[in-house]
Amino acid sequence: MIREEAIKRIQELRQELEYHNHKYYVLAQPVISDYDYDIKLKELQKLEIEFPEFFDPNSPTQRVGSDRNMEFIQVKHKYEMLSLSNTYNEGELRDFDNRVQKLLMETAPYVCELKFDGTAIGLTYENGVFIKGITRGDGEFGDDVTANVRTIKSIPMKLIGDNFPDEFEIRGEIFMSHFAFEKLNKQREENGDPLMVNPRNAAAGTLKMQNSSAVAQRGLDCYLYYMLGEKLPSDSHFENLRNAGLWGFKVSEHIKKAQNIDEVWQFIQYWDKERINLPYDIDGIVIKVDSLSKQRQLGFTSKSPRWAISYKFKAERVATKLLSVDFQVGRTGAITPVANLDPVFLSGSTVKRASLHNADQIAIFDLKINDLVYVEKGGEIIPKIVGVDLESRDQSAIEIFYITECPECGAELIREEGEAKHYCPNEFSCPPQIKGKIQHFISRKAMNIDGLGEETIDLMYTKGLIKDITGLYDLKKEQLVPLERMGEKSAENIINGIEASKNTPFEKVLFALGIRFVGETVAKKLAAAFENIDNLSQASFEDLIAVDEIGDRIAESVIKYFKSDSGKNLIDKLKVAGLKFQIEENNIQKSNKLEGKSFVISGVFEKYSRDELKDLIILNGGKNVGSISAKTDFILAGDKMGPSKLEKAEKLGIKMIGEDEFLEMIK
């Protein structure tokens, strides 16, 4: 494709993809399939690589983020980002209304908005194009998280229409929906990582991650709720938000204009009950004077605006009796104590069980069987015990003894230094761990075997058809057909899915093995570094930690896995089954221009992400290494290269090259 054709097609694809992003993530009205969307995105990615001179930081391809290690820059807010005063009852709310009326000497309409439970953000646009995203910080200065904001697909990079101000700021709340939060915690549990406490903390932590490609995986969302600028469309805050919705911003459909404080109170009462049905958390209602000129007239205190206030809902808490404690075994062997409660109604549902997390929490609360305990949901999806009524404790209270042996297989539990949870070390013989490993193995991001679910795996294990993941490759259709809710067609689909999984690339197979701490990203890095399972199985601790982002804990876990007889036997059986245990030759033509040369990549780059540069090194015969040594040939250095790496490179006399010089080497 010639240059003129390329830029025309790139512009067409960018416009189409932004349109579909808006329809899907803002309006929830998709008009094309995910497959068709992905085809267009891949075409755009290919063109942008072939014609890097047309790079645009706001292109839809940049939504996936990059692996750039960012150090957030502090930026001064153009308009101070103050927090709101809080109120918790009707009387304080009416006092606020009286103060407003007294200062204005008249009544003023209010705008009522849901108070999203996330993290505040300020977005700046110039000529309809997204420029930067800044966190609240201390109100005067915030962190520049622009690269991470670009990955949030409900935030438009380019606005619709042409009637927006030349320059303005719009503020909102970045949050994580219940669905995204549950999905994240499920993935973390599968990977053996600690679970996130609640969606609010998960959203705030995600936005401050140093790797924007990881942010892109978390499913953050954003509602916008306030506009600032010199030439806004209207003096009405309510009308400005309506305009923002037309420009492509995601604005809540639950905003209401209230003529007086009585209507405000009715709105609050309604959402205090109805909030349990929302797909995200809110912790109150925000009330603002609608007129911007009246807002300016009312002004600010030293800490907050006089024209707005936040009504905070009380966290729902109930008291009930602790009947017993069960101990559950997860896929990774982590033991989780679960409280069995006298059933009680809380936040729209009957609660019978609550998480106790670990032994430390039981000790902190001095918890005993038959205690009267306080249970909350609050921002939590899963109910939790938040306290004990010690005054009501009587002689029926029974000490809780934390188990020392696995309740499923009897193995002695271990608790490693620095770990909050106890673990069952019997990972290859403990039934819940075996079934959990099989479920992880067949999952979409691993071997992606269709037709198999948790119930079917449990049934096949119970019937003795499979004893571990290797048993899947010995299954016959005749064995599956007699199973409950299984027919000829379903059985055939499962067998075909298992056979097709033999074409799964090595990095996904490695992830599917379920080695503790080896998640999807780590598996990809290990596969690229060692190229096949034999090299990886023989790697020393030093070899492993030399790989980018592989730390001591991961290295020790990998070595332990490949030293175990069970791990070795499992790999041998999967090799016989025909799974891929080495990196395949890439279809793209390689050169040997970098043959025998090793590179360390450090810093932030303009044209390519670090992962893309690493791929280019491999495709041209070079080798990526994670740490600088005398054997390193080049440092590929970008902006914000770490000072310690710079010092070491200079000390060893290693040649440093920039992105353009590197691209010239492989031209």
Residues 6 or more apart whose CB falls under 8 angstroms from that of 191 comprise 332, 517, 518, 519, 520
- For the domain bounded by 317-399, which CATH number is listed? 2.40.50.140
| Per-range mean pLDDT, top range of 4-18, 36-50, 344-358, 403-417 | 403-417
108 contacts 291 by C-beta, under 8 angstroms: yes
Q: Does 69 have pLDDT greater than 50?
A: no
Asked if 3-64 and 598-665 have one fold, the answer is no
Q: How far apart are CA 647 and CA 641, in angstroms?
A: 10
pLDDT class of 123 with cuts at 50, 70, 90: very high
Domain boundaries, the chain: 3-64, 74-312, 317-399, 431-503, 506-577, 598-665
The 10s digit of each residue's pLDDT in 262-278 is 999 999 999 998 998 89
User: What is the average pLDDT score of the chain?
Assistant: 89
Q: How far apart are CA 430 and CA 417, in angstroms?
A: 23
Share of the chain above pLDDT 90, in %: 55
203 contacts 119 by C-beta, under 8 angstroms: yes
Q: Does 586 have pLDDT greater than 80?
A: no
pLDDT class of 28 with cuts at 50, 70, 90: low
Neighbours of 477 (CB within 10 A): 15
Residues 468, 470, 473, 476: is their CA dihedral positive or negative?
A: negative
Which pLDDT score is estimated for 524? Answer: 84
- For the domain bounded by 74-312, which CATH number is listed? 3.30.470.30
Looking at 34-38, 147-151, 164-168, 410-414, which range is the least confident one? 34-38
Which pLDDT score is estimated for 67? Answer: 47
Name the 3-class secondary structure at 132: strand
Q: How far apart are CA 599 and CA 616, in angstroms?
A: 11
Q: What is the DSSP string of 56-71?
A: -TTSGGGGG-------
Q: How many degrees, rounded to 5, is the angle at CA 556 between CA 550 and CA 559?
A: 105
Residues 6 or more apart whose CB falls under 8 angstroms from that of 389 comprise 319, 371, 372, 373, 374
- For the domain bounded by 431-503, which CATH number is listed? 1.10.150.20
Q: State mean pLDDT over 620-646.
A: 82
Q: State mean pLDDT over 315-321.
A: 85
Q: How far apart are CA 574 and CA 257, in angstroms?
A: 63
Residue 24 DSSP label: I
pLDDT class of 76 with cuts at 50, 70, 90: confident
More confident of the two residues 429 and 49: 429
Question: CA 161 → CA 12, 247, 531, distances in Å?
Answer: 17, 6, 50
- For the domain bounded by 598-665, which CATH number is listed? 3.40.50.10190
Q: Does 380 have pLDDT greater than 60?
A: no
Active site residues: 115
Which pLDDT score is estimated for 588? Answer: 46
Question: CA 637 → CA 74, 87, 288, 646, distances in Å?
Answer: 23, 52, 49, 9
Which pLDDT score is estimated for 294? Answer: 96
The token pair at 190 is 């599968």
Name the 3-class secondary structure at 34: helix
Q: State mean pLDDT over 259-263.
A: 96
The 10s digit of each residue's pLDDT in 188-245 is 877 767 777 778 888 988 998 888 888 999 999 999 999 999 999 999 999 999 999 9
**Buried-exposed string 633-647: b where 16+ CB fall within 10 A, e elsewhere:** ebbbbbeebeeebbe
pTM beyond cutoff 0.75: no
Q: How far apart are CA 438 and CA 63, in angstroms?
A: 32
- Report the candidate in 554, 555, 507, 511 with the shortest Cα–Cα distance to residue 531: 507
Which pLDDT score is estimated for 587? Answer: 39
| H/E stretch holding 624 | strand 623-624
Which pLDDT score is estimated for 331? Answer: 80
Question: CA 411 → CA 47, 406, 431, 432, 657, distances in Å?
Answer: 56, 5, 12, 13, 54
- Report the candidate in 199, 191, 190, 123 with the shortest Cα–Cα distance to residue 158: 123
Residue 417 backbone phi and psi in degrees, to 5: -60, 130
Which pLDDT score is estimated for 157? Answer: 95
CA 128 to mean position of chain CA atoms: 28
Name the 3-class secondary structure at 662: helix
- Report the candidate in 462, 454, 453, 455 with the shortest Cα–Cα distance to residue 494: 453
Which pLDDT score is estimated for 138? Answer: 76
Superfamily grouping for domain 3-64: Helix hairpin bin (1.10.287.610)
CATH architecture of 506-577: Orthogonal Bundle (1.10)
